Amino acid sequence: MAGAVGGAGGSGWTWRPVARDPLLARAFHSCTELRGRFYLVGGLLAGGAREPSNDTVVFDPAGGQAVRVGTQDGPRRSHHDAAPVGGRWLCVVGGWDGSRRLATVAALDTELGVWEAWRAAQGNCPPAGLSSHTCTRLSDRELRVAGREGGTRTQRRYGSIYTLRLDPGARTYCYKEEGCHTVSRSGHCAALLQSPGLHQGHQLLLFGGCNSAEPEVAGRWSHGRIKEEPLVAPRLTEQLARLVSSGQGSRQGPRGLRHHSCSVVGPFAVLFGGETLTRARDTICNDLYIYDTRKSPSLWFHFPCADHGLKRTGHRTCLWNDQLYLVGGFGEDGRTASSQVCILDFFI
């Protein structure tokens, strides 16, 4: 059981392979669960690739099968993000198309299997261009976009926050820049979590993408403002609670981490892998970090891994059916894309 921490009688974890398909081998793609299927869009098929892929692959976690969506006119993107809308559309936001950073929205109609280029609505105030940003659902028609905009010569010294409103009926989108800013971040992750303490509500936290080890708040909402129904994963939540209570993890958060994955499981944000900014060699990681918000202040738990075969960057994790899935990403050499699908497994 590769990737485990702890020994006999101790606590541990691993990523257990459950499927493999060459169609899934990519990094810096998006992977979004919609109606029990994982939709993989674009990405880089090999390290050093100059042009992103424009294909779309659907993975069925129940059957372990991957198929390519028949349409060949998908958006050519990497370093983008995506979100489900209306239980039907998969909206791809921003990203790199091989020549420039975009802020446009393309949508896959999953019922018809066709891609649509949605148009900007009146009053749209878009970012200069987005890549390695995050896009978080606040409701079925509202997303929160966070990250550094523009290229290396034009980017600001801070991170911008945008509200992106979507209208599936009109096939339009509209950006509005929020008045607050964040630390300049790229390759970070975002987690919408319930606020700890007496004042119940939600907060959007950004992790990594810069040298800081501390999460940063990119939005706060009072109780009842966020209508999103979190995915229920009682067994996985209990397993994570037992892992952080095992004494095996150190109270250490990730410092200088980017291009890692992040999934919210109940009161926990689960981060894995990525690329560290703190050393010049052996930069790709295989560590598991858990951010526990059950009490105030929230606590970090770090669980290292000895298995170099589990090093990943530019990968994605998806929560479905009380399991956390790991899909794609480049391995230890930073060039070879993984074709495996794994689930987070525990022995406690």
The pLDDT assigned to 182 comes to 86
**What are the backbone angles phi and psi of residue 308, rounded to the nearest 5°?**
-65, -20
The pLDDT assigned to 148 comes to 74
Ordered per-residue pLDDT tens for the chain, 348 residues: 454 444 333 459 999 999 999 999 999 999 999 999 999 999 999 999 989 999 999 999 999 999 999 777 899 999 999 999 999 999 999 999 999 999 999 999 999 999 999 999 999 999 989 999 999 999 999 999 998 776 554 445 678 899 999 999 999 999 999 988 888 899 999 999 998 766 789 999 999 998 877 899 999 999 888 877 777 899 999 999 999 999 999 999 999 999 999 999 999 999 999 999 888 888 999 999 999 999 989 999 999 999 999 999 999 999 999 999 999 999 999 999 999 999 999 987
Single pTM value for the model:
0.94
CA neighbor of 84 nearest in space, from 341, 323, 320? 320
The pLDDT assigned to 11 comes to 57
Instruction: Quote the CA–CA distance of 126 and 137 in Å, as a whole number.
Output: 18
Amino acid, res. 341: V
Cβ neighbours of residue 331 closer than 8 Å, sequence gap 6 or more:
284, 309, 311, 312, 337, 338
> Measured at the alpha carbon of residue 204, what is the angle toward residues 200 and 208, in degrees to the nearest 5?
135
The pLDDT assigned to 198 comes to 66
CA neighbor of 176 nearest in space, from 188, 156, 160? 160
The pLDDT assigned to 6 comes to 43
Amino acid, res. 321: N
Going by DSSP bridges, is the β-strand pair 89-96/101-109 parallel, antiparallel, or unpaired? antiparallel
The pLDDT assigned to 178 comes to 94
CA neighbor of 137 nearest in space, from 33, 35, 216? 33
